[in-house]
Amino acid sequence: MALSLARRGISATVIEKRTGFGELGAGLQITPNSGRVLDGLDLTLPLKRVSVSSHGLMIRRWADGRELLEMPSDPARLPTPFRMLKRNDLHTVLLDAARSMPNIRLVVGRGVQEITQEDDGVSTTLTGQNGQWESFHGLGLIGADGLWSRVRDLNGDTSRPLFTGYEAWRALAPGTKTDKPRVNLHLGPGRHTVHYPVAGGRETNVVVVRQTKEAREGWSRDGDGDVLTDHVAGGSQALRELVASAQGWQAWSLFDRKPAVMAKGRIALLGDAAHPVLPFLAQGASLAIEDAAVLARLLAETLQADGSRGVPAAMAAYAAARSARAARVQDASRSNGRTYHLGWPWSIGRDIALRRLGPDGLRARYGWLYDWRDE
């Protein structure tokens, strides 16, 4: 968001509660809809250094690894590739770009405590690790602070996230040499696994989703690999070997939350703070990047035409432009989760439907998602 504003000549201050960026072992996919935004910020080359371009998707059955659907693609023929990378690599690319912009200020180790909307802007009271308080004032405030958003709470939406009954485990396994790296998806009853190469193919990001009764807040906690060894005991040999080779398992409970009011006055919400997306469509990061592009454009247009008094109108226009799409992506992700985890005999119908759909049908089904442009 800060980059999109700064490239349009608007100064931005980024406030981050943590003192650094990590998330080792967490991978993500940058699909063409959000990739176009990043390319427009002149990030194509640094992203190419840290990502792997996908050659498509392979879907298999959990128990025997039998192929259900293969959707090949040739990244050389795509104007914007499907990129696979580690989250902290994307953080590094964005952070390096932000540090190169003189009109972006980075403030770390501060948490938002209070927000006050005023006629000419928003005042924010922060506290740091040493307990000292400080205040910032700006023309507006954008809350991009995730599922458990403090800004969302302070802006009047105190609805709580709801536990889905699932948790996700992630880790890194050694990379494997292949001429056509791709996303691999294994579907099983009440569970699934997705894995794909990252870090130039040197590592493989592995995510296992399974049912659980216990919910815990937070992004990650250390996980015992032996738990997953038992969990995948009924999976294919290739899947068992992959999970056994992965190290540094982290687990997090999956929560859902209804969409928020995306803007109120001079305060807007972005990404998971506004519309958390379950990880069954690989769109959490992409939807946030889309949000940032639209909001930055609308703010720049409004500030140029009406000055600072137009900020609330720009925020409102952003909410109107994004709410329906965000809700559609949330619903599509929930639907995928239900389909992925079907048990017998319903899984038989799913498998038959996937084979009949075929690669062309699957591409057509998600054209609305991947063909998006900020127009």
Active site residues: 196
Compute CA 34 distance to the chain's CA centroid, rounded to the nearest angstrom: 10
CB 139 within 8 A of CB 311: yes
Q: 115 near 151, Cβ under 8 Å?
A: yes
Q: Is 193 helix (H, G, I), strand (E, B) or coil?
A: strand
User: CA nearest 333: which of 273, 261, 256, 250?
Assistant: 256
Residues 354 and 362: their CA atoms lie apart, in Å, by 8
On whether the CB atoms of residues 138 and 151 are closer than 8 A, the answer is no
Rounded distance between C-alpha atoms, residue 165 and residue 337, angstroms: 12
Backbone φ and ψ for 354, nearest 5 degrees, come out as -65, -45
**Are 207 and 249 in contact, with CB atoms under 8 Å apart?**
no
- Separation of alpha carbons 250 and 190, rounded Å: 19
Instruction: Please state, in angstroms and rounded to a whole number, the distance separating the CA atoms of residues 23 and 196.
Output: 17
Cα dihedral 170→174→176→181 (10° resolution): 30
Residue 215: partners with Cβ closer than 8 Å, 6 or more residues away: 163, 167, 253, 255
Q: Are residues 312 and 157 in contact, defined by beta-carbon separation less than 8 angstroms?
A: no
